[in-house]
C-alpha cells in the first residue's frame, strides 16, 4: 500500500464517534446510513466547529435524506447517455469516465449518492477497459473527464496506467481530473503524485470547495503543489442551503481560491436527486450571488452559475440580466437551442 492509503484507512471516522463527540442518537441514523453510506476523513471531520455548521451539513447523515422519496434517482438521465459501462457521452466532443467507485468523504448532497459505495482500500478502479476502447474508436472525442467517485482514490500506479492508455489516443487533446481530494483529504496530494501527473500534460484539474472553512493550510498546500506541477486548477461549487447560499460567503470563497491559483469555474444549481431535497435553493438565490460578484470582485473570480437541465439536456449558464421567467417557471435555452421549462424551488 502507498503511505497515504495507510493514513487514509487509519484515520477514517467511525460512526460511533458521532455519539462520542456530539451525543447523536445512532439508532435513529441507522436507516439513513444503511441507505446512503457514511464515510468521512478525520481531517475533514476536524473542520467541524459545531453541529449543523457548513462542514457538518456536508458530511454528517441527516434524517431528511430518507424523507425525500419523490425526487428521481437519475434526474440527468445519465443511464441513457451511457453507451458502455462507466462512460457518459452527452456532448459530442467530450466524455466522462467513471474510474472510481467511491470518494474519501461521501458528501450528503452528492448527485451520484445512489451509486457511490463505501469500498474498502486498497481499491480497484472500475473496469473501464471497454470505455477506453470506446474513446479510441470515436475521433470526435477530444476531452476526457476522469470522475467517479474520486479518481485520486486510485493508487498512483493505477491512475498512471489509465492516463498512459488515454495519452496513446491520438485524437484526445486534453484530460481533466475531477476530484475533491484537496478539500477532504489533502494529504493525498503528494509530491510523487504531482510528479506522475505532470508527465501527462495537457492535464487540467477541477476540485470542489464549497465553503471558506475548507481553505486551510493543508488544502492550500495541496493546491499549491498541483499548480506548481503546471496543472491549471478550477473549482466547481454546488449551491447548498445552509452551507453557502449567501453572497458574502461565496465572495469570500472565490477570492480565497484565487490566492491559491484556483480559478472558480462553475456554481452548480443542485441536481434534483433523491435524498438531497433539504439542500435545495431557489434559482433566485444563485442569481443574487452572481449579482453580488459581478463588478464587486475580479472578473476571474466569478464562476458561471449553471443548471444541469433535467433529462440530460445539458448545462445552461444563467445571468441575472437575461433570464426569462414567468411565475415560478424559467425558460432556459440549452446549447442545442432548445427552450426548456424549469420549475423553481420555494425560497
Ligand atoms: C458537465 C459535463 C461535462 C463537461 O462540461 P463542461 O461544460 O465542458 O465542463 C461533460 N459531460 C457531462 C455528462 C457533463 O455532465
Ligand atoms: S466528492 Fe463529488 S462524487 Fe464524491 S461524494 Fe462528494 S459530490 Fe459525490
Mutate to test the pocket of ligand 1, among 134, 304, 315, 334 (most ligand atoms within 8 A of CB): 315
Q: Does residue 142 line the site of ligand 1, with CB under 6 A?
A: no
Mutate to test the pocket of ligand 1, among 80, 83, 84, 90 (most ligand atoms within 8 A of CB): 90
The answer, as to whether pTM is greater than 0.85, is: yes
Cis ω before 202 (30° cut-off from 0):
yes
Q: Cell 486534453, residue?
A: 174
Rounded CA gap, 276 and 279, in Å? 6
From residue 304, alpha-carbon distances to 103, 192, 218, 245, 344 in Å are 25, 33, 27, 15, 19
- Using one digit for the tens of pLDDT, what is the confidence trace for 133-180? 999 999 999 999 999 899 999 999 999 999 999 999 999 999 999 999
Distance 102 CA to ligand 2 centre (A): 8
Q: How many CA atoms lie within 13 A of 175 on its CB side?
A: 26
Q: How far is CA 200 from the centre of its chain?
A: 22
| Strand ranges, E, within the chain | 87-91, 94-98, 143-147, 174-178, 203-207, 233-238, 262-268, 304-309, 314-317, 324-326, 329-333, 339-343
Least confident of 176-180, 239-243, 253-257, 309-313: 309-313
Distance 43 CA to ligand 2 centre (A): 16
| Residue 23 neighbours by CB under 8 Å, 6+ apart | none
- Using one digit for the tens of pLDDT, what is the confidence trace for 181-221? 999 999 999 999 999 999 999 999 999 999 999 999 999 99
Res. 114: pLDDT tops 70: yes
- Which amino acid residue places its CA nearest to atom 4 of ligand 1? 94
> What does the block give as the cell for 241?
442551503
Res. 309: pLDDT tops 70: yes
User: What would the DSSP string read from start to end of 169-218?
Assistant: -TT--EEEEE--HHHH-GGG--HHHHHHHGGG-SEEEEE---SGGG--HH
Q: Does residue 307 line the site of ligand 1, with CB under 6 A?
A: no
Res. 347: pLDDT tops 80: no
List, in sequence order, every residue forming a beta bridge with 34; answer none if it has no partner: none
Domain spans in the chain, listed from the N-terminal domain onward: 68-318
Looking at residue 122, what is its pLDDT? 67
Distance 341 CA to ligand 1 centre (A): 20
The arithmetic mean of pLDDT across residues 107-135, rounded, is: 88
- Which amino acid residue places its CA nearest to atom 1 of ligand 1? 315
The arithmetic mean of pLDDT across residues 229-244, rounded, is: 98
Distance 272 CA to ligand 2 centre (A): 15
Residues with CB under 6 A from ligand 2: 103, 106-107, 110, 112, 116, 150, 180, 208
Distance 106 CA to ligand 2 centre (A): 6
With bands split at pLDDT 50, 70 and 90, how would you rate the model's confidence at 322? confident
Rounded CA gap, 282 and 239, in Å? 10
With bands split at pLDDT 50, 70 and 90, how would you rate the model's confidence at 123? confident
Least confident of 119-123, 235-239, 304-308, 310-314: 119-123
Looking at residue 115, what is its pLDDT? 83
CATH of the domain spanning 68-318: 3.20.20.70
Q: Does residue 96 line the site of ligand 1, with CB under 6 A?
A: yes
- Which residues are known to be catalytic? 90-91, 94, 103, 107, 110, 112, 271, 308, 315
Mutate to test the pocket of ligand 1, among 76, 80, 94 (most ligand atoms within 8 A of CB): 94
Rounded CA gap, 8 and 12, in Å? 6
Rounded CA gap, 249 and 228, in Å? 27
Distance 43 CA to ligand 1 centre (A): 30
Rounded CA gap, 115 and 102, in Å? 8
Res. 120: pLDDT tops 80: no
Which ligand minimizes its atom distance to the CA of 209?
2
Amino acid at each position: 500500500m502507498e503511505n497515504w492509503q495507510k493514513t487514509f484507512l487509519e484515520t477514517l471516522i467511525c460512526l460511533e464517534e458521532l455519539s462520542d463527540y456530539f451525543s447523536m442518537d445512532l439508532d435513529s441514523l441507522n436507516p439513513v446510513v444503511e441507505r446512503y453510506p457514511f464515510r468521512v476523513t478525520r481531517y475533514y471531520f476536524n473542520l467541524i466547529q459545531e453541529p449543523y455548521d457548513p462542514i457538518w451539513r456536508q458530511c454528517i447523515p441527516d434524517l431528511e435524506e430518507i424523507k425525500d422519496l419523490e425526487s428521481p434517482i437519475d434526474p440527468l438521465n445519465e443511464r441513457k447517455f451511457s453507451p458502455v459501462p462507466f462512460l457518459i457521452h452527452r456532448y459530442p466532443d467530450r466524455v466522462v469516465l467513471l474510474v472510481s467507485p467511491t470518494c474519501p468523504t461521501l458528501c450528503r448532497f452528492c448527485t451520484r449518492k445512489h451509486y457511490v459505495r463505501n469500498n474498502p482500500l486498497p481499491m480497484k478502479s472500475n473496469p473501464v477497459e471497454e470505455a477506453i476502447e470506446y474513446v479510441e474508436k470515436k475521433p470526435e472525442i477530444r476531452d476526457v473527464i476522469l470522475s467517479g467517485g474520486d479518481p485520486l482514490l486510485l493508487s498512483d500506479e493505477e491512475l498512471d496506467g489509465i492516463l498512459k492508455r488515454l495519452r496513446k489516443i491520438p485524437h484526445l487533446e486534453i484530460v481533466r481530473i475531477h476530484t475533491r481530494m484537496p478539500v477532504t483529504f489533502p494529504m493525498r496530494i503528494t509530491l510523487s503524485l504531482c510528479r506522475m501527473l505532470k508527465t501527462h500534460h495537457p492535464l487540467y484539474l477541477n476540485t470542489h470547495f464549497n465553503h471558506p472553512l475548507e481553505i486551510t493550510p493543508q488544502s492550500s498546500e495541496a493546491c499549491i503543489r498541483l499548480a506548481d506541477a503546471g496543472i491549471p486548477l478550477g473549482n466547481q461549487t454546488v449551491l447548498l442551503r445552509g452551507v453557502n447560499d449567501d453572497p458574502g460567503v461565496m465572495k469570500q470563497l472565490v477570492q480565497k481560491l484565487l490566492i491559491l491559483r484556483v480559478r472558480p469555474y462553475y456554481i452548480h444549481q443542485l441536481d434534483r436527486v433523491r435524498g438531497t431535497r433539504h439542500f435545495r435553493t431557489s434559482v433566485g438565490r444563485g442569481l443574487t450571488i452572481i449579482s453580488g460578484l459581478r463588478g464587486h470582485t475580479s472578473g476571474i473570480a466569478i464562476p458561471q452559475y449553471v443548471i444541469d437541465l433535467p433529462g440530460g439536456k445539458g448545462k445552461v449558464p444563467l445571468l441575472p440580466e437575461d433570464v426569462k421567467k414567468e411565475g415560478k417557471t424559467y425558460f432556459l435555452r440549452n446549447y442545442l437551442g432548445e427552450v426548456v421549462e424549469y420549475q423553481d424551488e420555494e425560497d
